[in-house]
């Protein structure tokens, strides 16, 4: 193979410079995307509810984002009495930073050839990128907990409490679902996981149950509907950010959308093949070209945005869970399912490896796919919803219904007595 | 690894994070508010994770953040919030000067112990040989990645110890469940 300088790793100085440029690039793009995701949320929600949505500022309301930003900067920032000032100020920043630094390890495109060497399109190619992602997402809870505690407000405190219990619970299910990804990939480096999916099949096809558990946990980790109990407005005013105003309040919202985008990027990288263009090996074989870089980057953005849309779609479709349902879903359904699935996938891979099947061969893919289909049928057809999780609309026991009716009657007689 | 290119850069950051860890640890033991103390402890964990990464033990660094900062300290904060203990003026459990002196002496004794150990022959055995270090660096590019060299001895040579540890943890979990159940039943009766 001829030694083309454009295909070789760059020198150290170029590496440093390229890393700084990549950081600035990722940060800028990320902030713009976060801003426009807030607009996308409002536009999609309007579309789902058959309204117009924001359409007055700029063409099709596209400058609404700038108007919102300026408004938030100009608003008065109130500092409620008896707050713990350092933590009160630190909380929004923590919330936002943890969402953002997860992007350091996500590969977002095929390597870019330059005259100074081949630049990998990932800010920091950590050999433990996967664990770094898990570690950073587990820190997201600090911003919310500290905001809830430092606000000196009962509702905020309740929001913080709920959020810490919820995020710790779902983090376990999330981590367990990701063990299957590691079993299939056999590596903890994110570029290696992407390469494995390019050579074999996407993880969402091979281990769909893990992908499903990850998805549900991701909704809980980002505190989005149907798991937005930390800020349930009908119960807790606004939960952990009740006392915040101006730009600090806005930071929590930026953090929420940043988290949505980060969770989507994680799903895309771990389960949807990252920047790979499906049904073709043109993009991941042969020497790197600028065209490949651009095409794969566009593919990554398309997959990412499909997921962000999914997040928004769910928010405007499903109602909120009750707190006990949330906890029983996490601990009694998702965690045992994830553990059982690890055992199934691990034994399947052990058997396939022992039989000598190649990890990228059709036998390996077909066997995993078959096991996966059986698991999906068992999970979604035999163990249907309503039998285990007992949603609010499931059938109640007759005695319980009678009890609730009596309580309601008593309450109404008491209320009418008071009003008189 | 790019240690060889920027030795100054690495040693500067190594000592920087070391000093930060010591400063945070001092702040951790001197703060009165449990929440502030917990946050300083989280900072200590981060600095230690940075030290591990600078020493090339990236797996330990990531696990340090994931387990200590991401799980254990969150549960600490949860309990502090649940019992609403976090307000400094309500804290009366400070042991006075005798307790502080005793704690200081224990700390100094442990520091001295580490210093003595670092000078002894025992420490020389712990520092990796050049051949072993090269072997570990090569293993990172192997199929198991950076965790392969940790996983292989854990699940081959030390399997019994590993399984015994997991049994110990399981026992602890079962114990916690039993204690939790008993209190609930007692209240009901």
- Both B104 and B22 in one domain: the answer is no
> What CA–CA distance (Å, rounded) separates A153 from B123?
53
> What CA–CA distance (Å, rounded) separates A376 from A332?
18
Q: Which of B77, B107, B126 is the last residue of a domain?
A: B126
Answer whether A146 sits within 8 Å of B39, measured CB to CB: yes
Q: Does residue B62 sit at the A interface (CB-CB below 8 Å)?
A: yes
Q: How far is B136 from chain A (nearest CA, A)?
A: 13
Instruction: Please tell me which residue of chain A has the smallest CA distance to B57.
Output: A128
Under 8 Å CB-to-CB from B174, ≥6 apart: which residues?
none
For residue range B71-130, list pLDDT tens digits in order. Answer: 888 888 888 777 766 565 555 555 677 877 888 899 899 989 888 887 777 666 666 555
- Both B88 and B120 in one domain: the answer is no
Average pLDDT in chain B: 78
For residue range B72-89, list pLDDT tens digits in order. Answer: 888 888 887 777 665 655
Token pair belonging to B147: 């965790």
pLDDT band at B23 (very low <50, low <70, confident <90, very high): very high
Q: Which of B93, B117, B150 is the last residue of a domain?
A: B93
Q: Which of A243, A218, A220 is nearest to A230 (CA)?
A: A220
Answer whether B145 sits within 8 Å of A132, measured CB to CB: no
- Both B22 and B108 in one domain: the answer is no
- Both B109 and B21 in one domain: the answer is no
pLDDT beneath 50: ranges in chain A: 1, 389, 392
Any domain includes B43: yes
What is the percent of chain A where pLDDT is above 90?
0
* Residue B168: per-residue pLDDT: 94
Whole-prediction pTM: 0.81
- Both B59 and B108 in one domain: the answer is no
Any domain includes B88: yes
- Both B114 and B41 in one domain: the answer is no
- Both B89 and B102 in one domain: the answer is no
In this complex, the residue of A12, A171, A189 whose CB is nearest that of residue B5 is A12
- Both B120 and B87 in one domain: the answer is no
- Both B76 and B116 in one domain: the answer is no
**Where in the sequence is the domain holding B118, given as residue range(s)?**
95-126
* Residue B164: per-residue pLDDT: 93
B185 has pLDDT over 60: no
**Where in the sequence is the domain holding A64, given as residue range(s)?**
5-419
* Residue B183: per-residue pLDDT: 58
Token pair belonging to A120: 């990998």
Q: Do A253 and A231 meet the contact criterion of CB atoms below 8 Å apart?
A: no
Looking at the structure of chain A, the number of domains it has is: 1
**Residue whose structure tokens are 């074999």:** A200
ipTM of the complex: 0.76
A316: number of Cβ within 10 Å: 14
* Residue B169: per-residue pLDDT: 92
* Residue B171: per-residue pLDDT: 94
Q: How far is B148 from chain A (nearest CA, A)?
A: 8
Looking at the structure of chain B, the number of domains it has is: 2
Instruction: Please tell me which residue of chain B has the smallest CA distance to A172.
Output: B71
In our burial notation (b when 16+ CB lie closer than 10 A, e otherwise), range A86-119 reads: ebbebbbebbbbbbbebbbbbbbbbbbbeebbbb
- Both B27 and B101 in one domain: the answer is no
CATH number at residue B63: 1.20.120.1200
- Both B35 and B64 in one domain: the answer is yes
| Coil, strand or helix at B105 | helix
Any domain includes B154: no
* Residue B1: per-residue pLDDT: 42
- Both B101 and B34 in one domain: the answer is no
B12 has pLDDT over 80: yes
For residue A159, list chain B residues with Cβ-Cβ distance below 8 A: none
Q: Do B45 and B61 meet the contact criterion of CB atoms below 8 Å apart?
A: no
Under 8 Å CB-to-CB from A92, ≥6 apart: which residues?
A143, A147, A244, A248, A249, A251, A252, A255
* Residue B188: per-residue pLDDT: 42
Q: Do A260 and A100 meet the contact criterion of CB atoms below 8 Å apart?
A: no
Any domain includes B182: no
Q: Which of B70, B93, B116 is the last residue of a domain?
A: B93
Q: How far is B71 from chain A (nearest CA, A)?
A: 7
Any domain includes B78: yes
CA angle A396, A401, A405 (to 5 degrees): 155
* Residue A5: per-residue pLDDT: 62
Q: Does residue B58 sit at the A interface (CB-CB below 8 Å)?
A: yes
Answer whether B78 sits within 8 Å of A165, measured CB to CB: yes
């Amino acid at each position: 193979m001829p030694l083309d300088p454009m295909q070789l790793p760059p020198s150290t100085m170029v590496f440093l410079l390229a890393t700084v440029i990549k950081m600035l690039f990722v940060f800028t793009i990320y902030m713009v995307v976060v801003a426009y995701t807030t607009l996308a949320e409002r536009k999609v929600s309007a579309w789902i509810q058959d309204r117009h949505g924001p359409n007055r500022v700029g063409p099709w309301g596209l400058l609404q984002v700038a108007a919102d930003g300026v408004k938030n900067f100009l608003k008065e920032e109130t500092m409620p009495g008896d707050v713990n000032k350092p933590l009160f100020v630190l909380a929004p920043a923590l919330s936002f930073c943890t969402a953002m630094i997860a992007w350091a390890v996500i590969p977002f495109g095929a390597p870019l050839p330059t005259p100074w060497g081949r630049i990998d399109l990932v800010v920091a190619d950590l050999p433990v990128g996967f664990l770094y992602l898990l570690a950073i997402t587990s820190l997201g809870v600090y911003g919310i907990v500290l905001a809830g505690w430092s606000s000196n407000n009962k509702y905020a405190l309740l929001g913080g409490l709920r959020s810490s219990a919820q995020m710790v619970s779902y983090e376990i299910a999330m981590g367990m679902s990701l063990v299957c990804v590691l079993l299939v990939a056999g590596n903890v480096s994110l570029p290696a996981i992407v390469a494995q999916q390019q050579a074999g099949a996407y993880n969402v096809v091979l281990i769909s149950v893990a992908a499903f558990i990850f998805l549900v946990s991701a909704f809980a980790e980002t505190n989005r509907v149907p798991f937005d109990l930390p800020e349930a407005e009908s119960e807790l005013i606004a939960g952990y950010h009740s006392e915040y105003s101006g730009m600090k309040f806005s930071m929590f919202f930026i953090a929420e959308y940043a988290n949505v985008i980060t969770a989507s990027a994680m799903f895309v990288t771990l389960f949807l093949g990252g920047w790979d263009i499906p049904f073709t090996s043109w993009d991941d074989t042969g020497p790197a070209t600028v065209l490949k870089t651009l095409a794969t980057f566009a593919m990554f953005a398309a997959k990412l945005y499909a997921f962000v849309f999914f997040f928004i779609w769910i928010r405007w479709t499903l109602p909120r869970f009750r707190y006990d349902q949330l906890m029983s879903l996490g601990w009694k359904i998702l965690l045992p399912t994830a553990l059982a699935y690890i055992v199934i996938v691990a034994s399947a891979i052990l058997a396939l490896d022992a039989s000598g099947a190649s990890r990228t061969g059709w036998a390996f893919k077909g066997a995993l796919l078959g096991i996966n289909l059986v698991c999906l049928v068992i999970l979604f057809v035999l163990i249907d919803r309503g039998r285990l999780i007992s949603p609010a609309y499931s059938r109640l026991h007759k005695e319980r219904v009678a009890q609730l009716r009596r309580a309601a009657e008593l309450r109404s007689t008491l209320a009418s007595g008071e009003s008189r | 690894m790019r240690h060889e290119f920027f030795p100054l850069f690495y040693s500067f950051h190594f000592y920087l994070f070391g000093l930060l860890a010591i400063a945070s640890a001092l702040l951790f033991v001197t703060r009165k508010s449990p929440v502030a103390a917990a946050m300083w402890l989280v900072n200590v964990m981060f600095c230690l994770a940075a030290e591990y990464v600078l020493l090339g033990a990236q797996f330990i660094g990531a696990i340090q953040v994931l387990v200590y900062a991401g799980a254990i300290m969150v549960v600490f904060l949860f309990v502090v919030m649940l019992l609403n203990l976090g307000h400094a003026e309500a804290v009366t459990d400070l042991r006075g000067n005798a307790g502080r002196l005793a704690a200081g002496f224990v700390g100094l004794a442990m520091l001295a112990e580490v210093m003595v150990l670092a000078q002894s022959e025992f420490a020389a055995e712990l520092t990796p040989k050049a051949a072993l270090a090269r072997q570990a660096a090569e293993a990172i590019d192997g199929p198991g990645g950076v965790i392969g060299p940790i996983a292989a001895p854990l699940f081959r040579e030390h399997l019994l110890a590993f399984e015994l540890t997991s049994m110990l943890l399981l026992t602890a979990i079962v114990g916690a469940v039993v204690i939790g159940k008993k209190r609930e039943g007692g209240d009901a009766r």
